[in-house]
Amino acid sequence: MLTVYLLRHGETLWNADGNRYCGVTDVELTEKGIGQAHLAAEVLAGITFDAVYSSPLQRAFRTAQIASGKPEQVRIDARLTEASFGEWEGKTREEFIGEKPQLWDEWCRTPERTKAGGSGETATEVVSRVDAFFRDVQQAHVSGTILVVAHNAVNRFYLARKLGMPLRNYRQLAQDNSSVTVFDLDGEGELKLLKLNCR
């Protein structure tokens, strides 16, 4: 059994500015975001991780370095990169819905086949790469405990799929900045959710 501590990164400059969609844009943490990562480190204190994995985007990588307490051990995996949100990146939801309301409606109904922001990824594409990451990690760590630091959409899409939820319901899963979600993966890849969105 593999136990996974899954974090979302700390607050970014765009999160703080009307919650603008970051996506694959490499946006820095705010001072508050750095503080949130330190709070996550306090929550995780005393847990021994066999490995620490992070998205290559600096907001996740910096959070992983701080939260793990072992910055030199953080391994980057591009499959953990946030979903590409295409034309929506850098904009608030109100802004891009105002521009193309039909596209947002299509995304809400069928994210599994609708490209986010018109030119980004579908939810199916996101889940495929994140699931491949976890399958590979399970081969490397049949049992034990790992820390994974990624992003809001990536984390929620993966959890929704593994919990048997329609992908359009991913927003029903909370992933606050630097919150901790814990789950087990058994040898068959079945997920058992232990904690969600904890601080």
Residue 9 is a catalytic residue? yes
CB 147 within 8 A of CB 80: no
Kindly state the tokens that stand for 143.
Answer: 């049992």
Residue 82 is a catalytic residue? yes
Residues whose CB falls within 8 Å of the CB of residue 164, separated by 6 or more in sequence, listed in order: none
pLDDT tens for each residue of 111-135: 999 999 999 999 999 999 999 999 9
Instruction: Write down the pLDDT at residue 68.
Output: 97
Q: How far is CA 163 from the centre of its chain?
A: 16
Active-site pick, 11, 82, 89, 121:
82
pLDDT tens for each residue of 5-42: 999 999 999 999 999 999 999 999 999 999 999 999 99
For the chain, which domains are there? 2-82+122-198 (3.40.50.1240)
- Rounded to two decimals, what is the model's pTM? 0.96
